[in-house]
């Protein structure tokens, strides 16, 4: 069992990292502002599911693959392409039936979160550097400690991102009556997706 001397600093560091502006919380805010609080919560759940995927890669020693330039480049290209696809879909929303066309199935929103997180190799590389700092050889097996810490990080991320989803959803409720503002939000969201794609490729 990981001691409180290790777990508490890790918990505080995780919360600070979750709150800090970054692509994931920006993604949650954008999706919530476009589709509502529930959509933001589903995207958040998907993102946290992706964190479990990255935790597994670190625990199994597979995250080192992303230190290879070809693997890192391939996954970055896939993730950037997906984000550009989302940007296109957002801009191509049917403006005649805006409210209806913006509704997405729950599974699609959850899937967006998973893809956004799991295809971002920077998360695996970050976990590979971050998690071992809080692992002690005297505490137990490396794998079990990685999964515990990864789980804690996912829980803190879910809590923080849920708050962001709620805030974005409140914004969406206030703006939903104005088609012009919704169109503007679509354009802003498309710019955000494009910027996230560019950030991945840099």
Residue 63, classified by CB atoms within 10 Å of its CB into exposed (0-12), middle (13-18) or buried (19+), is buried
pLDDT digits over 153-185, tens only? 999 999 999 999 998 888 776 665 566 666 777
Q: Which of 13, 31, 33 shows the shortest CA–CA distance to 196?
A: 31
Residue the block writes with tokens 């950030």: 199
pLDDT digits over 38-86, tens only? 999 999 999 999 999 889 888 887 656 655 667 667 767 877 888 788 7
In a domain, 15, yes or no: yes
The residue among 93 and 197 whose pLDDT is bigger is 197
Task: Say yes or no to pLDDT of 202 above 80.
Answer: no
Q: Which domain holds residue 27?
A: 4-93+103-201
In the DSSP assignment, the letter for residue 122 is H
In a domain, 98, yes or no: no
In a domain, 147, yes or no: yes
> pTM for the full model?
0.75
Q: Which of 23, 3, 4 shows the shortest CA–CA distance to 157?
A: 23
Domain count, the chain: 1
């Amino acid at each position: 069992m990981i001691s409180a001397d290790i777990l508490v600093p890790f918990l505080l560091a995780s919360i600070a990292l979750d709150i800090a502006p970054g692509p994931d919380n920006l993604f949650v805010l954008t999706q919530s502002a476009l589709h509502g609080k529930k959509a933001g919560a589903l995207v958040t759940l998907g993102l946290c599911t992706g964190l479990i995927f990255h935790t597994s890669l670190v625990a199994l020693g597979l995250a080192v693959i992303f230190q290879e330039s070809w693997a890192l480049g391939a996954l970055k290209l896939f993730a950037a392409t997906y984000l550009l696809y989302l940007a296109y879909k957002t801009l191509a929303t049917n403006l005649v039936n805006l409210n209806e066309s913006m509704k997405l199935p729950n599974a699609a929103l959850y899937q967006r979160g998973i893809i956004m997180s799991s295809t971002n190799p920077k998360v695996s590389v970050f976990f590979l550097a971050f998690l071992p700092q809080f692992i002690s050889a005297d505490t137990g097996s490396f794998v079990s400690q990685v999964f515990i810490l990864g789980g804690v990080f996912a829980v803190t991320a879910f809590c923080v991102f849920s708050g962001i989803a709620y805030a974005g959803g409140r914004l969406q409720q206030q703006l939903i009556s104005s088609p012009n503002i919704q169109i503007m939000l679509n354009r802003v969201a498309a710019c955000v997706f494009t910027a996230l794609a560019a950030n991945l490729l840099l």
